[in-house]
């Protein structure tokens, strides 16, 4: 039987994907803008590794975000703050290798763009140049406009992120819905406009009242992608592990689960454990065999050996 090396599995293309030599047709920021203009919702989801990114891409999701939620849902950190640039680059590279169509955005982690302009630029460029991202995402509003404009001028497309910004967990005093008072409502409107005018290609609105997200979506010229921001946004994003019940914590109000991955894996793992314990795995059909000729040759060499 011919063995398939793991490296070949990683580059296997199903019939729904173009052959490796076929030029890849990736969505662009302009394609996302066209969707907004045509009132066609933009679908987005996070991914952090090659196999899930491939599934997401094959499902026809428009945008893949390598979010720094990576820290919480994959790396087991308490929040997103400890995530490093190297961790984000490592996972972004894996996701980039899998994508044929989706637009790839990578989160800049906490501390990587809060430094001087020169270092922030240098860090951002690494996501495009080394990891293959098409845009970087940074959290914050008016206070980030200079950086957004600098990055845009340096050919680094930027996705903004305002509202409940997890990297501000300490300054927000926890993960709370933002923009609920009239003053906070206006502040976030100003933030959104400032980020859009500074050149961002899209903006994530997280954890804000539906009415605020609808207002911002109508006011800014770039696509808004909501998470916990109601249905009027130009697109929606969810964390992959939330969709499939793969996080340890109870889901937030805005999460809709599309499958019980935890139950699926638990059942399959218990079955595997039991099959190994009962020696019913592997079966003869799952084993390799010597050819008849080699078996005969070995038997002739050892005429007194007991037949296996």
Residues at the interface with ligand KIV (CB under 6 A): 46, 65, 67-69, 107, 161, 204, 206, 227, 237, 239
Whether 206 is catalytic is yes
User: How near is the Cβ of 96 to ligand KIV at its closest, in Å?
Assistant: 17
Instruction: Report in angstroms how near the CB of residue 224 gets to ligand KIV at its nearest.
Output: 12
- Measured from the CB atom, the residue of 57 and 68 that comes closer to ligand KIV is 68
Would you say 27 or 239 has its CB closer to ligand KIV?
239
CB of 101 to ligand KIV, least distance (A): 20
Least spacing, CB of residue 233 vs ligand KIV, in Å: 12
Among 78, 206, 286, 293, which one carries the catalytic annotation?
Answer: 206
Of the two residues 215 and 224, which places its CB atom closer to ligand KIV in the complex?
224
Q: Show the 3-state SS of the chain.
A: CCCCCHHHHHCCCCCCCCCCCCCCCCCCHHHHHHHHHCCCCEEEEECCCHHHHHHHHHCCCCEEEECCCHHHHCCCCCCCCCCCHHHHHHHHHHHHHHCCCCEEEEECCCCCCCCCHHHHHHHHHHHHHCCCCCEEEEEECHHHHHHHHHHHHCCCCEEEEEECCHHHHHHHCCCCCCCCCHHHHHHHHHHHHHHHHCCCCEEEEECCCHHHHHHHHHHCCCCEEEECCCCCCCEEEECHHHHCCCCCCCCCCCCCCCCCHHHHHHHHHHHHHHHHHCCCCCCCCCCCCCCHHHHHHHHHHCCCCCCC
Task: Give the residue numbers marked as catalytic.
Answer: 206
């Amino acid at each position: 039987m011919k063995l398939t090396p793991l490296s070949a599995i990683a580059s296997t293309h199903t019939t729904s994907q173009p052959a490796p030599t076929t030029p890849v047709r990736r969505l662009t920021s302009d394609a996302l803008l066209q969707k907004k203009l045509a009132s066609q919702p933009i679908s987005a989801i996070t991914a952090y590794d090659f196999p899930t990114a491939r599934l997401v891409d094959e499902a026809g999701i428009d945008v893949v975000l390598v979010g720094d939620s990576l820290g919480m849902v994959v790396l087991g950190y308490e929040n997103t703050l400890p995530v490093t640039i190297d961790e984000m680059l490592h996972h972004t590279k894996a996701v980039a290798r899998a994508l044929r169509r989706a637009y790839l955005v990578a989160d800049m982690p906490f501390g990587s763009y809060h430094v001087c302009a020169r270092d922030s630029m240098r860090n951002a460029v690494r996501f495009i140049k080394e990891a293959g991202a098409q845009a970087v995402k940074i959290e914050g509003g008016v206070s980030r406009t200079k950086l957004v404009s600098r990055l845009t001028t340096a050919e680094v497309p930027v996705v903004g992120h305002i509202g409940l910004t997890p990297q501000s967990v300490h300054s927000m005093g926890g993960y709370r819905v933002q923009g609920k008072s009239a003053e906070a409502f206006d502040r976030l409107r100003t933030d959104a406009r400032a980020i859009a005018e500074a050149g961002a290609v899209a903006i994530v609105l997280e954890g804000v009242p539906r009415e605020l997200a609808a207002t911002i979506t109508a006011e800014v010229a770039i696509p808004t992608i909501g998470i916990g921001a109601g249905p009027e946004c130009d697109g929606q994003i969810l964390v992959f592990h939330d969709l499939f019940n793969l996080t340890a914590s109870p889901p937030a109000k805005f999460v809709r689960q599309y499958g019980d991955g935890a139950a699926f894996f638990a059942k399959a793992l218990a079955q595997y454990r039991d099959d190994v314990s009962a020696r019913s795995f592997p079966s003869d059909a799952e084993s390799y065999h010597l050819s008849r000729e080699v078996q005969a040759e070995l038997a002739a060499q050892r005429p007194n050996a007991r037949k296996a």
